[in-house]
Chain A
Amino acid sequence: MITLNGLCKRYGDRTVVDDLSLEVRPGTVTGFLGPNGAGKSTTMRLILGLDRPTAGTALINGVPYHRIRNPLRTVGALLDARALHPGRSGHAHLVALARGNGIARRRVAEVLETVGLTDAARKRAGALSLGMSQRLGIAAALLGDPEVLMFDEPVNGLDPDGVRWVRHLMRSLADEGRTVFVSSHLMSEMQLTADHLVVIGRGRLIMDAPLTEVIARSSLTAVVVRTPHAGDLSVRLSAAGMRVERPGENEIVATGAAIEHIGDLAYEAGIRLHELRTREASLEQAYQELTASSVEYGARKAGV
């Protein structure tokens, strides 16, 4: 369990993390989303005590990171896969981490096997490709068999097989009851992996809710109705407090009500329906709506 309480980080007059309070719970994959520069990586660095918060606290199982004995056995984190001495082999790097935290040496071979790096483990870390560095970073995170795991953009540089493997890994770690906190800006990936979402923009919390709720709340999630009596039905739906659009002669798109409610209303009014279905927003659409106002480094439109 990770608990943030009024967490703030300012660099001069720039506020990177602004009064962030949330809980990341065990047994779920919590996706951490936000535009570039929203403060995701800084938040993770604050949790690990690499940066000092300007105000507030970041606790793991109720204590700050630096108070945990043998922290790698409680928290495994991949922040920057290249953050190791380039002249050292992956194997030597992991052995050093293991020895410093009282982790059995055989774990090194085990995690290297898990991430599929057994053959490249004796190569200089600087000579590894980005994807292989990423695997080594994941191996380091898994080394201490920790109950809390944090990954910053874990699929960076991985091939499609690797991406699928990471997705599978996150799920199984959460299913084992661990706390899994993953940042990413690949929405399609998050939609497949995450149970719960934390969305931030400009350092502030925008949303902290289950994935299904984020998608259901999007204005693009709607009920599509096809009926020869579209005019009549749309009046009734509006009267029931729904937002109604008429994209076509016989078509209604209604938001703000459950599909069952619409079906019942039509039945009571004796209106024949030819189609009644839910159109779900993708996470990408829901995310874009949420963060539209807080994209810090948005690209300008071409030609402007």
Chain B
Amino acid sequence: MITATLFVQFTLVALAMLVITSEYASGGIRSTLQATPIRGRVIAAKALVVAPVMFAAGVLSGGVAAAVVYAALSTDLFGGYVTLPPAEVAVDLLRVGVFLALVSVTTLGVGTAVRSAAGTLTVVFMVLMGLPLMLLMTGSQVGVEVSLRMPLFAGLAFMGGTDDLTAGLIPYSAGEGLAWLLAWTAAAVAAGYAVLRRRDA
């Protein structure tokens, strides 16, 4: 489920992106800023909508996946080989929700800074997937260290996916993973806010 989340995230990223890029595509941003000229309020309002919606979407889609697995496990085919303790699943689902909410708000920040849909998608894909993998493949000490602190591995650490995929590669705890995720989100939102304040609409 954790690994799948890393692919599912781009569906939600595309949706979160539209919250701001569609305004620039249609010119609606000018109506928005005319009605709410305080830039910080515009970004905060959008983040307050995006975060809970994406959290719910993450928990729900994760829940559906868990239910399917549960159903499969209760058939004779897999019976007894694997167990799925409900309490752990619930915690995992919440973490998936938080991860997706943070990634979506990051996307909102990038979208506010970049403005175009294509540009936003490119930047967000590079930050979430492209760059960390490329840095990892360079094999250089610095590259790997940076890569491990980008949202991909920070998210894996936070969601507890370290065991099966990265096999002890990530040198920090789930809590620190969350901290790195929050830092990336904050940086993206700060960049978006700076551009929204300074650049002409």
A interface residues with partner B (beta carbon < 8 Å)? 45, 48-52, 65-66, 68, 71-72, 77, 79-80, 82-86, 93, 96-97, 100-101, 140
Contacts and interface: CB of A to CB of B under 8 A. Distances in A.
Interface in B171-201: 198, 200-201
24 contacts: A49-B33, A49-B37, A50-B33, A50-B200, A50-B201, A52-B198, A65-B37, A66-B37, A66-B38, A71-B34, A72-B34, A77-B34, A79-B30, A82-B27, A83-B27, A83-B29, A83-B31, A84-B26, A84-B27, A84-B28, A84-B31, A85-B26, A100-B35, A101-B35
Contacts, number: 54
Q: Interface centre among A45, A65, A83, by most B CB within 10 Å?
A: A83
B198 A80 contact: no
Interface size class on chain B is 10 to 19
A97 B30 contact: no
A97 B33 CA distance: 11
Interface in B77-126: none
B51 to A, nearest CB: 20
B22 A85 contact: yes
Contacts of B28: 83-85
Contact of B30 (A66, A72, A83): A83
B23 interface: yes
Interface of B: 22-23, 26-31, 33-38, 198, 200-201
The 7 closest A-B pairs by CB, nearest first: A83-B27, A66-B37, A51-B200, A50-B201, A83-B30, A85-B28, A100-B35
Contact of B35 (A52, A80, A97): A97
Contact of A71 (B23, B29, B30, B37): B37
B19 to A, nearest CB: 11
A71 B201 contact: no
Contacts of B27: 80, 82-84
Contacts of A52: 198, 200
Given A50-B201, A72-B35, A101-B35, A85 B30 contact: no
Interface of A is mostly: loop
Contacts of A100: 35-36
Contacts of B26: 82-86
B31 A93 contact: yes
B35 A45 contact: no
A125 to B, nearest CB: 9
Nearest to B41: A100
Given A83-B27, A84-B31, A85-B23, 12 more contacts: A45-B200, A48-B34, A48-B37, A51-B200, A72-B34, A82-B27, A83-B31, A84-B28, A85-B22, A93-B31, A96-B35, A100-B36
A51 B199 CA distance: 7
A10 to B, nearest CB: 12
Nearest to B30: A83
